[in-house]
Chain A
Amino acid sequence: MSKSKSRQVFIGVCVAPALILLIVFMFMPTFEVFRMSLYSWGGFSNTQQFVGFDNFKLLWNDMTFIRSFQNSIFLIVVVAIVTFAFAVFFAAILTKENVKGGNFFRIIFYIPNILSIVVIAGIFSAVYDPSGGLLNSVLDIFSLENLQQMWLGDQKIVIYSLAAALVWQAIGYYMVMYMSSMAAIPPSFYEAASLEGASKIKQFTSITLPLVWNNIRTTLTFFIISTINLSFLLVKAMTGGGPDGSTEVFLSYMYDQAYGNSTFGYGMAIGVIVFLFSFLLASIVSRITKRDVLEY
């Protein structure tokens, strides 16, 4: 008895605390998001009233929500394309080309990823400041005054300004991810290709890209979730959704509704939509990017 019993006790002692914490602080709140979305609840002491899917019906006609939805999709798509283009490009350069100071560049490019998103919000507020900001004064130096903008004040531009900040912070992270899978490709592949006269660009499109494709696919799924999250954190710290709702993303709208406006049920309905949406998007992306994986 005692040997198997003590083994069971040991396993229980090891696993139970983690399991309890996960259930109490991760799964129960997630369940609550779904449950609360079916209630109308005005605030802390008010009574909760079951309303079924009414919150979702209201969302359908909520222009601010639709706007926040459009902004989020825009950010996910644009930031994904630009970030991946840059990250793959720089990863290929730093692994395949013999650049001087490659290690220095790798170290520098990763720095934005270790900064708090609040600090990034502060840095970009300084960069975009219309009068004493870095971006406008750089344009001044190059005599491009006509390109100067109210980067955070113009409703048409502000979403691009935020996208640039998100790209800036993400490039280094994804670059390092791709560098490791590119470094694993045997050099003999490139030697053979260049003997047959394939150009650098040809080598990139027919050797490097297909062989790291699987890695890109995995990061894409993850990227969607992280952009949804980071765009919320950045918007909250930097523009507060303004000017005039032009940078509202769905999580910031959820947070404002639930926490700021005390309409918890409504806010949580947005949470459910975001949850389902990111899941759906991740599976669509993994579907359309599916190719035969090349092995080497």
Chain B
Amino acid sequence: MKNSKKISLDGLMRVFIYVALITLAVSIIVPVAWVFLASIKQNKEFYGSPWSLPEGIHLANFVEAFQEAQMGEYLLNSVLVTAMALLILLLVALPASYALSRFEFRGNRLINSIVKAGLFINVSYIAVPIFLMLLDWDTGLKAMLGNDLLLNNRFMLALIYASTALPFTIYLLSSYFKTLPADFEEAASIDGAGYYRTMFSVMFPMAAPSIVIVILFNFLLFWNEYILALTLMPASNQTLPVGLLNLMAAERSAVNYGPMYAGMVIVMLPTLILYIMVQKRLTQGMTVGGVKG
């Protein structure tokens, strides 16, 4: 008697567990899938039930988003900025992490605490001062060159993205370099390799797994970022999330929803594809760093 009661309680618990899991999964899948379906609907289809399936594959929304809303241009800017920012980040963060974690030198601890303190600086506070700073430098340069150089500049935005990602990235790479045994450096030194050669040909290739994680995380961060992009690119060269904001504002007032959903798909599709390809590495890597910018 007692036993059967226990089983039914366990059974009830299992039902409850599955209901909870499925509810959350549905609450995530349905809105995301709905955006994809809405992106191929015709405008008149938005007035019926929101659950109606699209009558056909109406790609004109994407054409409109690319042609009239310049999503193509934004896409190109996002690709360029993200790629440059990742490149700068790796070029700067890898040697710094290596030197800080494997060499004892004066100032090492101070620099390590500066990097750690950087983890607590929130990009949202400093977007405005960075804007003012670039504006200030631009005023000086304008006297010499005659036009804006630092604002609306994709390289500058990439450089600032890379800088703001440095604390997290150096922290993560350093903790990885620390785990490597010293034998490799000694062996390389006996074979006659100098510091640079050891670093590039021995140590960096060994760090490949954590480099992949750094690239994944920062790709998502840079691709999705919008407050710095919005602030530092007031006139041209805007990135995809900023373009999407513009598109959302424009289409809502024009009651023309299709291209807006097409724009959302254009922003999220690359990250979704990447995530599906590497989801295991991403979620495992997350626990290595334990922080997110």
Contacts and interface: CB of A to CB of B under 8 A. Distances in A.
Contacts of B135: 44
Contact of B92 (A18, A27, A134): A18
Given A18-B93, A134-B30, A233-B227, 18 more contacts: A13-B95, A14-B99, A15-B100, A17-B92, A18-B95, A25-B130, A107-B279, A109-B24, A117-B241, A118-B224, A118-B241, A119-B268, A122-B248, A122-B264, A133-B50, A255-B128, A264-B132, A271-B125
Nearest to A45: B139
A106 B35 contact: no
Given A21-B92, A122-B264, A29 B31 contact: no
- What 5 pairs between A and B have smallest CB-CB spacing? A116-B224, A14-B95, A18-B96, A14-B99, A29-B129
A18 B166 contact: yes
Interface of A: 6-8, 10-11, 13-15, 17-19, 21-30, 32-33, 36, 44, 86, 89-90, 93, 97, 99, 104-112, 114-119, 121-127, 132-134, 137, 168, 171, 173, 176-177, 180, 200, 218, 222, 225-226, 228-229, 232-233, 236-237, 251, 254-255, 258-259, 264, 267-268, 271, 274-275, 278-279
A134 B50 contact: yes
Contacts of A10: 99, 195-196
By size class, the interface of chain B is 35 or more
A57 to B, nearest CB: 21
20 contacts: A11-B99, A19-B96, A19-B111, A21-B159, A29-B125, A29-B130, A30-B121, A32-B132, A32-B133, A33-B126, A110-B275, A112-B28, A118-B244, A137-B50, A137-B51, A176-B287, A225-B122, A228-B122, A251-B125, A268-B128
A173 B279 CA distance: 12
Given A11-B99, A118-B245, A177-B290, A29 B126 contact: yes
Contacts of B121: 26-27, 30
Highest count of chain B CB atoms <10 Å: which of A127, A177, A225, A236: A225
